Homo-oligomer: A and B are copies of this chain.
């Protein structure tokens, strides 16, 4: 068996690219970088190419800042905004809107930069393609430099690392068998499942007991749950699914709020919209719900819609650690960049 180039180049495209020990090494390195307030031009002259098919605040600024702290530069690439739109299908006759094929774009960008970051949300068209993370896989295949997933259809591994670091800090490293609750919440738009999927996985890989709290029809796809269950089982913990929000919050150590679209959205968007915004509109995370927990910290990946996903008094309360969580994006991404570029602190 021979390896393709893409198999030899290090990457952080999926959480599965790194085993538990490696993930923990990276998170712990990030923690040290944070304590040191690490800013040293160890990556001087290096260049990051960050491709954003979708909007970003934290991801872009934290990567730009990580680059500056390490002495590197960044180029921001937003297809369709000052850059050609990319054709992503293969074998097509390109006589439509897209002036450039993703293949050329990624091959060429690989010649200029040292690391490629990619944000490519689900288009909510094909659950099968999203579970395969097809677009991201294509980019990894075309690239000749390391690729970092800055949120794909299926995963948000950098967010997961930041979540892991935040929980390690908050629980003083004692994550084993603590109760992690991912609570679905209402939202006016059908959001993708990458963040909830990766949040469950990182919690399971930290050995936490993971509860998915959501209305019945909002349960994540089986393939995602199977993956989480397998990680939990390897780490001596378990995954529970709970459709009663109050019951789920009982004794929780961490409440991770997040909205996502019901899988129904792929087939019947109108029915999904009604389900999400009407039937399940009473799932907003409130101070009352938080009072049921074991003094749980409240986490959210941001951006968050106040008084829809979670009430003002939770977000403005002292148990909310979403700003620390956002800060940790910077530190874990520094650690990821240093690992992929082979740099030491």
Contacts and interface: CB of A to CB of B under 8 A. Distances in A.
Interface of A: 39-41, 44-47, 49, 52, 55-58, 60-62, 64-65, 67-69, 71-73, 75-78, 81-84, 87, 90-96, 99-101, 104-105, 107-109, 111-113, 188, 302-308, 312, 315, 322-323, 326-327, 330
B327 A112 contact: yes
B112 A61 contact: yes
A109 to B, nearest CB: 6
21 contacts: A39-B45, A44-B71, A45-B68, A45-B71, A56-B83, A60-B83, A61-B77, A62-B112, A64-B73, A68-B72, A68-B73, A91-B312, A93-B306, A99-B305, A100-B303, A100-B304, A101-B306, A104-B302, A104-B303, A104-B304, A111-B323
Nearest to A40: B45
Contacts of A100: 57, 302-304
A240 to B, nearest CB: 30
A304 B93 CA distance: 11
Given A95-B305, A95-B308, A82 B75 contact: no
A287 to B, nearest CB: 15
Nearest to A188: B95
Give the copy number: 3
Contacts of A40: 45
Nearest to A83: B57
B308 A58 contact: no
Given A55-B83, A104-B302, 4 more contacts: A61-B109, A92-B306, A104-B323, A107-B323
B307 A92 contact: yes
Given A55-B84, A82-B81, A100-B57, A302 B108 contact: yes
Nearest to A323: B107
A77 B57 contact: yes
Given A47-B65, A61-B75, A108-B323, A94 B305 contact: yes
B62 A303 contact: no
Contacts of A75: 60-61, 64-65
A303 B99 contact: yes
Nearest to A191: B99
B330 A112 contact: yes
Nearest to A144: B323
Contacts of A101: 303-304, 306
Nearest to A90: B312
A88 to B, nearest CB: 12
A95 B46 CA distance: 42
